[in-house]
């Protein structure tokens, strides 16, 4: 039982340290999310203004974009990061393929189109980073709550249960020791009384023999 109590205490300490590490990472992610959201708001304003410039300079180019681009150049891949035994998803972007508008700039509004594209690429990168942080936020929030429930259960239920059991066992053993001591004491007392009775009986018998002997004389 003491080994179980020791194991519960060790488990409680490990889970508590894990919860503290996850909480620190959680706070860091919250701060990064706030920064990314502010950054996202600013960059989307710039991107919207850049798109308005393109529309003013060249008109509607959405059909041309759809015709020129067959696959996405900016792609996303998912990885995982281990934080205190918890796998956090991490999204990162990479460029795949050639620029579909590498010759843009020779015609009308080319500079505005390139600027708009670069601005939206930057917005997409910030959006990918924000999605990675938001996903990690959700995962960490659930893991921290589960870990804290386990810590509280061990601290307020398991450990007190083992401590009460150990205290009860010690109390019962002490009671048995007291009963055994009392039993041995009573046995010793009875033995002593038996010896006293035997000695008294011998004295009585010796006195009777002396009286008989005196009577015969």
134-151 pLDDT, tens digit per residue, is: 988 999 999 989 988 888
Distance, in Å, from the CA atom of 91 to the CA atom of 131, rounded to the nearest integer, reads 8
**Tokens 């066992």 appear where?**
169
pLDDT in tens, 107-122: 556 677 777 778 888 8
Tokens of 104: 């843009």
Sign for the CA dihedral angle at 51, 57, 59, 60 comes to negative
What secondary structure letter does DSSP report for 154? I
Burial class for 205, CB neighbours closer than 10 Å (0-12, 13-18, 19+): exposed
Q: What is the pLDDT of residues 159-204, one digit of tens each?
A: 888 888 888 888 888 888 888 888 888 888 777 777 777 776 666 6
Name which of 117, 123, 121 is nearest 53 in CA terms. 117
> 78 has which bridge partners?
91
Strand partners, 89: 80
């Amino acid at each position: 039982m003491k080994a179980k109590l020791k194991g519960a205490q060790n488990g409680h300490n490990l889970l508590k340290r894990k919860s503290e590490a996850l909480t620190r990472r959680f706070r860091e992610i919250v701060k990064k999310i706030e920064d990314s959201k502010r950054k996202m708001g600013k960059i989307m304003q710039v991107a919207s203004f850049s798109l308005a410039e393109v529309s003013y300079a060249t008109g509607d180019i959405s059909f041309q974009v759809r015709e020129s681009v067959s696959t996405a150049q900016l792609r996303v891949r998912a990885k995982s990061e281990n934080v205190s035994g918890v796998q956090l998803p991490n999204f990162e972007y990479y460029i795949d393929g050639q620029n579909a508008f590498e010759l843009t700039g020779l015609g009308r509004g080319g500079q505005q189109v390139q600027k708009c594209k670069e601005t939206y690429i930057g917005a997409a990168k910030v959006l990918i980073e924000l999605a990675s942080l938001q996903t990690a936020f959700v995962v960490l929030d659930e893991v921290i709550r589960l870990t804290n429930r386990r810590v509280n259960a061990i601290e307020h239920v398991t450990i007190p249960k083992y401590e009460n059991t150990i205290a009860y066992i010690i109390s019962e053993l002490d009671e048995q020791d007291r009963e055994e001591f009392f039993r041995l004491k009573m046995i010793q007392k009875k033995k002593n009384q038996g010896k006293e009775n035997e000695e008294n009986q011998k004295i009585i018998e010796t006195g009777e023999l002396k009286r008989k002997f005196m009577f015969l004389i």
